Amino acid sequence: MPILRYLGHSACEIVEGDVRILIDPFLTGNPAATESAEDFHPTAIILTHAHNDHFGDTLEISRRTGAPVVAMHEISDWLIERGVNSHGMSTGGGHTFEWGWVKLTAAWHSSTYITTDGRLLPMGTPAGVLLRLGDRVLYHAGDTGLFGDMSLIGRIGIDLAMLPIGDNYTMGPDDALEAVRLLQPRLVAPIHYNTFPVIAQDGEAWARRVTETLGLPAVAPRPGGEIRY
Ligand code: ZN
């Protein structure tokens, strides 16, 4: 049974046996993070998109550990140009790695990256992530607005869905509730909230609302907290 550790904002570490997967490892400069980048030795890093609050410490962690970065083609090409081990994919494509299966889904958002010298680089389109480790499927929605095709994404049978609820840049609590209705996951948890004042939300109240209105289990771990799924 995989264990997901919520690292604050949208960063998660998923551990299943010897496999350790990092998604959107924004740790340095993340006011919600309880750990630092050098604590991690992942098998692979998966990125939903290139915004700096998701790309985070990807370069440092991958260069130090050699962990491959699974990301949209444009991000992957940029990483490979810089000597970083990376596997490019695109929307709707799945791939089986030695350690598990990944499919990138659609997400309604954008995907730019600000370099250390302040340049804004376009990095293709953003994605959500389906990750199967063992027989369990995680859906990490990345940053996105609500869209009806979430009902198609849910047909795979999602064991745990991590959904943004922060509003302003992504779905807010009401739309995220509708997303749960479309996805019908076995368990759901909120992400991308409370890191900055503009995305302040009550995650525990939202989780209660999911259970009360949809009858589905929901949890809101604090940064550093774990979910077994
Ligand atoms: Zn974003």
Read off the pLDDT of residues 61-96 as tens digits, 9 standing for 90 and up. 999 999 999 999 999 999 999 999 999 999 999 999
So what's the pLDDT on residue 135? 96
In a domain, 11, yes or no: yes
Structural domain contains residue 229: no
Q: Smallest Cα–Cα separation from 111: which of 147, 84, 142? A: 142
Phi, psi of 212 (to 5 degrees): -70, -40
Any domain includes 114: yes
Here the CATH number for the domain that contains residue 106 is: 3.60.15.10
Contact in structure between 72 and 49 (CB atoms under 8 Å): yes
Question: How many angstroms is it from 53 CA to the middle of ligand 1?
Answer: 7
- Rounded CA-CA distance 82/13 in Å is 24
Low-confidence stretches of the chain (pLDDT beneath 50): none
CA–centroid distance, residue 82 to ligand 1 (Å): 22
pLDDT computed for residue 154 by the predictor: 98
- Determine, yes or no, domain membership for 225: no
Give the per-residue pLDDT at 93. 98
- pLDDT at position 117 is 95
- Is residue 227 a part of any domain in this protein? no
Q: How many angstroms is it from 88 CA to the middle of ligand 1?
A: 19
Distance 214 CA to ligand 1 centre (A): 27
CA–CA distance, 160 with 67 (Å, rounded to integer): 24
The pLDDT value recorded for residue 183 is 98
The pLDDT of residue 226 is 98
| Distance (Å) from CA 209 to ligand 1 centroid | 25
Q: Is 185 within the bounds of a domain?
A: yes
Is residue 226 assigned to a domain?
no
Domain count, the chain: 1
* Rounded distance from Cα 17 to ligand 1 centre (Å): 30
Domain of residue 78 covers 3-218
Tell how far the Cα of 110 is from the centroid of ligand 1, in angstroms.
7
| Residue 153 CA to ligand 1 centre (angstroms) | 20
Q: How far, in Å, is the centroid of ligand 1 from the Cα of 23? A: 13
How much is the pLDDT for 49? 98
State residue 54's pLDDT score.
98
- Given a contact cutoff of 8 angstroms between Cβ atoms, the answer to whether 113 and 82 are in contact is no
If you measure from the C-alpha of residue 50 to the centroid of ligand 1, how many angstroms do you get, rounded to a whole number? 7
Q: What is the rounded CA–CA span in Å between residue 1 and residue 69?
A: 24
Residue 122 has a pLDDT of: 97
Whether 224 is in a domain gets the answer no
Q: What is the pLDDT of residue 151?
A: 98
What is the Å distance from ligand 1's center to 109 Cα? 7
Residue 13 pLDDT: 98
Residue 48 Cα to ligand 1 middle (Å): 9
pLDDT, residue 140, reads 99
